[in-house]
Amino acid sequence: MSSGVDVKRGGVFTARARGAYRPVMRAVCGAVALGLVGAPTAIAQQAEDAGPRVRGEQLYRSDCALCHGESGEGRPPTFPALSGNPALEDLSHVVIRIWEGQGTMPPFPDLSTEEVSAVAGYVRNAWENDFGPVSSEEAAAALAGLAEAGSRTSVWDGVFTASQAERGQTVYPGACGTCHGRRLNGAPDDPDMVSTPPLARAKFLRTWEGRSLAALFEYTRATMPENNPGSLTDEEYIDVIAHMLSVSGIPTGDDALEPDPHSLARVVIERRPQEEAEGAAGG
Amino acid sequence: MDRGRDDTSADHQSGNESQFSRRDFVRIGTVAGAGSTALLQACATRPLEPATGVEDSGWDYEADVVIAGAGCAGLTAAIRARDLGATVLVVDQNFDVGGRMLHSGSFLSLGGGDPIQLRDMKGESDPEGFVTVPPAEDPEELDDNPDLLFTDITDWSIVDRKAQSPYRYNEPELMRAWADNCPATRQFLMDNYVRFSRISGTHGGGGLSRARGALCFLMLGDRTDMKAGTVTLEDAGMADPERTSPFAPVQMFDASRAVGPNAVGNGVALSRPLEFSAREKGVEFMLHRRFEEIVREQPFSGRVVGIRARYSPRRHPETDEVMQSHWRNGNIDEQREVVNIRARKAVILASGGHAGNPEVRSMFYPAMREPAFPTSGSALLGPHGQDATALIAGLRVGANLAGMQQNLSYSTTFHISTRLGTRDAYTGMMPGHPTFGFRGSAGINVGRAGFEEFIVVNQVGKRFFNEIRLPQRPGLNRYPGDGGAPNRGLDHVPLDWRNCRKEWIREMYDYDHGLDAALALNEGSEPPHYYSGPLWAIFDQDTIERTGWELRFPYVADNGYFFQADTIERLAAKIEAGHEFQRVPLKYLAETVATWNGYVESGSDPEFEREVDGLMNPIATPPFYALSVMVVWHDSYGGLRVNGSQQVVDMQGQPIPGLYAGGEAVGGFNKHGLGKAHVHGYIAGTYAAADSAEGRA
């Protein structure tokens, strides 16, 4: 299990870890705010050893609530409600869906079997739900035979190419720039439009830290552009993401990002390169 | 220091740009006390001075329809009246045509089943084939009619996220006329070279229930040609990211997603085509001329027979030469101080609102008497932009007002801009437009997220609000649930008490009153005006490292809206010495920064609870910076009362014969921007062309 990510989750933003999170940066006009839900960094380390339900709720809030809502209400029809959803009855369906993803749902191959069972158990019994617990053994059985995920990388490991970022730069102005601004800082050029979440640099990385590029890709594809979600090609979406990473100061590499949720699920968004983070943690 | 302390009138604002005497009033001979408060008692037939174009009276010029203001209402009215056979003369105080339409985003919400709604419903392209992307909205979201639109904009029950009801106070007759004339106005604009993109949502208060907002576009090409619908990269202001053009005060933006490849948009794609068409059709323009007075047969009775207008030369900020409009065919070059212009059929007032006149806007919010905060487009329009001329002149001939309290109800009337470091904080005008020198810097738009990166202090150097919440603007009107708007579903019930019951308001209320804290009295507020003074974002070098903000020309300049120093004390001294409205020392600034750094250290801001909303960063690494934070009052929703024919109505409820008004000169209509004014102009032009001393045809 990727302990490096979890260490950072617990160590960086103590103010939020105290549970002080509130979705205050909500964009108006019905905007879908990328910053709406607290980053995974909101999750406190200290509760990790607590029972599966506590751990499941932590994981739910960090990895699931962005789309499915703090109270499992979802955002139908784009993101289904989990509260009262009869599809949760099928235990193996839930477990496999979390691990492998499907449709708009990104895969979460970083989760251990225990974590999958914890979050599956949480959603099956939170709110109004009463579908029964999920043991690690049941989760392991459901996941048996599924392909092992590849190794985890960071966005700082040269995961996109310069030419890909350049292609994204040409897509960005018309598709995204009207609302997110030509500097990607969430400041629209039209002064009558309200601010939006930044799509690059420190604030953006902070918001998405700990999530995978698959989550960013699927979320973007499902919700943006706000007036016509899904209207870009998959290649355009992933190229724009490369542009966002590039503007954030993240170095390019030799291979382009592919619009494939399974490979993107292995690339984790981090605020800064691992060596810097370790240096900071040590200091 | 006494800068800006006492003179808040529009005349003061004019500075060096307007130096005129009052003697021409006297020559009319009948004015009782020629000051600005006197009621005009001019007799239209008394000789004034040698006439230049008119034989037998004191009139210097005459036309069938005389229009004050060449913006969205005036230009539309001019073309419409000309189409109907009238001769038309338009006066405007600025050096170029277009008013604020020219710097707008060109989002034009009309509706009622207008031709663009119908086009998008059918999935069709435009006749020229420029529109190649599919419609953004589903057909049912575009299925509209005037009755539905009228219901929307008179819905007493709907509230915004500040719990204010913007439509409740709208004038019903004005709303009915507007809804009925939306489709015809859309077609009229298209007939005059205006091209519309796909509709996406609705914009700024034209009703919520259907998708109504399209934007205007031109296609990038190798020549600028309104008939062909093309503009060069240079004229569009897009050849250089840090430079615009005399053609486009604000750089045009990529409109490809709403149109197709190579489409660019903003108000330039609306204003320039209309201007081109007006000139082509023979509308005449007298620029550099500020409308001042309405000439009525008797002070409070009889017909309106003309206007009086004063020379208001706008000089280039560097060369001091009188600036020239981009196109000049149809221009009348007239430099006499005052001219009297007879209107054979009617006068149309389309000279804008009062957001640029601190004394008038203080009628609704005394704190807005503060002259440190201008209206939008102060560089483009100059000191007479939005200076309440129509309202003041209308009152002098007995006009009534409407909707004055509606100024307080929408996010574009006044708000804190996220564009810092420039006085003209509404637009991002770049160098290349001749009026750039009046602002000196484009400013840097940091967005709401940028407000996490600094503290904001008032004129004595004290923080006053949670900075992250400061630039929040009240959200748009909202029906319960997610219903009632394009892309959110159309499931809603207009005129329903549940739309405004307290349970729903508690759920959706979303507004922090940071703006009001910014305008509040503080230790530097002194009688008689108790000005709240300027606002400053204070940060350090580490902030630059975090954000990548480029604090260099053209974004900032040494113009009194950006300062840098090696110590906080020195920064405070520089601001005091270098900013025109900084009337007192920022005596608490160093203490405020030290206190803040202590809060950062402890992870807790007991005053404003910043730790709840985001990260807190120290202000400790020199050099230290200050950028101006501006309150922008943009729209006027109060103004002259008009009826459904856009005739100005007097205090007795009777139309004033021969006098029409539209756009922001008019009150009683809560709707932002262009869609309101174009329809007003269309209606006013229609009726004015048919008016005469014998009454309307």
Token readout for A12 is: 């960086």
Whether B257 sits inside 8 A of A26 (CB atoms) is: no
Query: Residue B262, by phi and psi: left (phi above 0), alpha (psi -120 to 50) or beta?
Result: left
> How much is the average pLDDT of B257-277?
96
Query: pLDDT band at B8, cuts 50/70/90?
Result: very low
User: What's the CA gap between B643 and B696, in Å, rounded?
Assistant: 14
Whether A174 sits inside 8 A of B256 (CB atoms) is: yes
User: What's the CA gap between B539 and B444, in Å, rounded?
Assistant: 14
Spatial CB neighbours of A81, under 8 Å, sequence gap ≥ 6: A68, A69, A72, A73, A74
Find, among A17, A79, A93, the residue nearest to A215 by Cα. A79
* Neighboring chain B residues of A222 at a CB cutoff of 8 Å: none
Distance between alpha carbon B477 and the CA centroid of its chain, in Å? Answer: 20
User: What's the CA gap between B165 and B173, in Å, rounded?
Assistant: 18
Q: How much is the pLDDT for A103?
A: 86
| Position B448 pLDDT exceeds 70 | yes
User: What's the CA gap between B6 and A122, in Å, rounded?
Assistant: 66
B427, B547, B613: residue with CB nearest A191: B427
| B442, closest residue in chain A (CA to CA) | A189
Distances (CA, A) of A62 to A56, A104, A196, B235, B585: 10, 17, 21, 48, 47
User: What's the CA gap between B114 and B119, in Å, rounded?
Assistant: 9
| B612, closest residue in chain A (CA to CA) | A20
| Position B639 pLDDT exceeds 90 | yes
State which H helix or E strand residue B637 sits in: none
Q: What part of B 1-60 touches A (C-beta under 8 Å)?
A: none
| Position B630 pLDDT exceeds 80 | yes
User: Position B473: which residue type?
Assistant: R
> How does DSSP classify residue A70?
T
| Position B254 pLDDT exceeds 70 | yes
pTM: 0.85
User: What's the CA gap between B292 and B390, in Å, rounded?
Assistant: 8
Q: How far is A48 from chain B (nearest CA, A)?
A: 23
User: What's the CA gap between A88 and A95, in Å, rounded?
Assistant: 10
Same fold, A3-143 and A153-282: yes
Chain A contact present for B488, CB below 8 A: yes
Whether A30 sits inside 8 A of B482 (CB atoms) is: yes
Pairing of strands B230-231, B217-220: parallel
The ipTM estimated for the assembled molecules is 0.77
Q: How much is the pLDDT for B6?
A: 38
Dihedral sign, Cα of residue B39, residue B44, residue B45, residue B50:
positive
* Neighboring chain B residues of A189 at a CB cutoff of 8 Å: 105, 250-251, 253, 428, 445
> In chain A, what is the straight-line distance between the N-terminal and C-terminal CA atoms, in Å?
25
| B426, closest residue in chain A (CA to CA) | A191
Whether A174 sits inside 8 A of B201 (CB atoms) is: no
Mention the CATH class of domain A3-143: mainly alpha
Find, among B468, B446, B422, B455, the residue nearest to B589 by Cα. B455
| B473, closest residue in chain A (CA to CA) | A194
User: What's the CA gap between B92 and B101, in Å, rounded?
Assistant: 14
* Neighboring chain A residues of B673 at a CB cutoff of 8 Å: 192
Q: Range with the lowest mean pLDDT among B119-133, B473-487, B548-562?
A: B473-487
Query: Residue B251, by phi and psi: left (phi above 0), alpha (psi -120 to 50) or beta?
Result: beta
Residue appearing with tokens 């050096």: B95
Tens place of pLDDT for every residue, chain A, 283 residues? 333 333 222 222 222 222 333 333 323 333 333 433 444 444 444 444 468 888 999 999 988 999 999 999 998 888 999 999 999 999 988 999 998 898 889 999 888 889 999 999 999 999 999 999 898 898 888 888 777 766 889 999 999 999 999 999 999 998 999 899 989 999 998 888 888 999 999 999 999 999 999 999 999 999 998 878 888 999 999 999 999 999 999 999 999 999 999 899 999 999 988 777 666 554 4
To the question of domain B10-101+278-412+653-689 being in CATH 1.25.60.10, the answer is: no
User: What's the CA gap between A62 and A119, in Å, rounded?
Assistant: 11
Phi, psi of B518 (to 5 degrees): -65, -30
| Position B4 pLDDT exceeds 70 | no
Phi, psi of B164 (to 5 degrees): -100, 145
CB pairs under 8 A between A and B: 128
User: What's the CA gap between B547 and B77, in Å, rounded?
Assistant: 47
Q: How far is B592 from chain A (nearest CA, A)?
A: 22
Q: How much is the pLDDT for B531?
A: 98
Chain A contact present for B289, CB below 8 A: no
User: What's the CA gap between A118 and A115, in Å, rounded?
Assistant: 5
How many other CB atoms sit within 10 Å of the CB of residue B284? 19
Token readout for B22 is: 């009052």
Judge whether B197 and B215 are in contact, CB under 8 Å.
yes
Distances (CA, A) of A107 to A64, A212, A214, A235, B398: 11, 9, 7, 19, 71
> How much is the average pLDDT of B190-210?
91
Find, among B292, B36, B136, the residue nearest to A229 by Cα. B136
Q: What percent of chain B has pLDDT over 90?
A: 82
**Torsion, CA B387, CA B391, CA B392, CA B393, rounded to 10:** 110
* Neighboring chain B residues of A171 at a CB cutoff of 8 Å: none
Indicate the average pLDDT of chain B. 90
For chain A, domain boundaries:
3-143, 153-282
Query: pLDDT band at B280, cuts 50/70/90?
Result: very high
Helix or strand or coil: residue B367? helix
Whether B447 sits inside 8 A of A193 (CB atoms) is: no
Distances (CA, A) of A276 to A8, A270, A273, A282, B183: 12, 11, 5, 10, 60
Query: pLDDT band at B63, cuts 50/70/90?
Result: very high
Q: How much is the pLDDT for B93?
A: 98
B136, B266, B445: residue with CB nearest A181: B445
Mention the CATH class of domain B416-475+510-633: alpha beta
| Position B148 pLDDT exceeds 80 | yes
Mention the CATH class of domain A153-282: mainly alpha
* Neighboring chain A residues of B241 at a CB cutoff of 8 Å: 182
Number of H-type helices and E-type strands within chain A:
14, 2
Among A228, A232, A236, which would you mutate to test the B interface (most chain B Cβ atoms within 10 Å of its Cβ)? Answer: A228
| Position B579 pLDDT exceeds 80 | yes
Q: How much is the pLDDT for A149?
A: 65
Q: What is the pLDDT of residues A145-197, one digit of tens each?
A: 777 766 889 999 999 999 999 999 999 998 999 899 989 999 998 888 888 99
Distance between alpha carbon B181 and the CA centroid of its chain, in Å? Answer: 22
Distances (CA, A) of B139 to A224, B290, B685: 20, 46, 33
* Neighboring chain B residues of A26 at a CB cutoff of 8 Å: 510
Residue appearing with tokens 């101080």: B337
Q: What part of B 340-359 touches A (C-beta under 8 Å)?
A: none
User: What's the CA gap between B529 and B517, in Å, rounded?
Assistant: 17
* Neighboring chain A residues of B613 at a CB cutoff of 8 Å: 22, 24-25
Q: Range with the lowest mean pLDDT among A52-56, B114-118, B573-577?
A: A52-56
For chain B, domain boundaries:
10-101+278-412+653-689, 103-266, 416-475+510-633
**Alpha helices per DSSP H over B230-383:** 268-280, 358-361, 378-381
Sheet of strand B562-565: strand arrangement:
B455-457, B535-540, B624-629, B562-565
Q: How far is B253 from chain A (nearest CA, A)?
A: 8
Dihedral sign, Cα of residue B156, residue B159, residue B164, residue B170:
negative
Judge whether B624 and B543 are in contact, CB under 8 Å.
no
Catalogue the E-assigned strands of B17-174: 61-68, 88-91, 108-109
Q: How much is the pLDDT for B141?
A: 93
User: Which of A130-139, B15-24, B133-142, B428-437 reaches the highest mean pLDDT?
Assistant: B428-437
Chain A contact present for B646, CB below 8 A: no
Among A170, A195, A248, which would you mutate to test the B interface (most chain B Cβ atoms within 10 Å of its Cβ)? Answer: A195
Chain A contact present for B376, CB below 8 A: yes
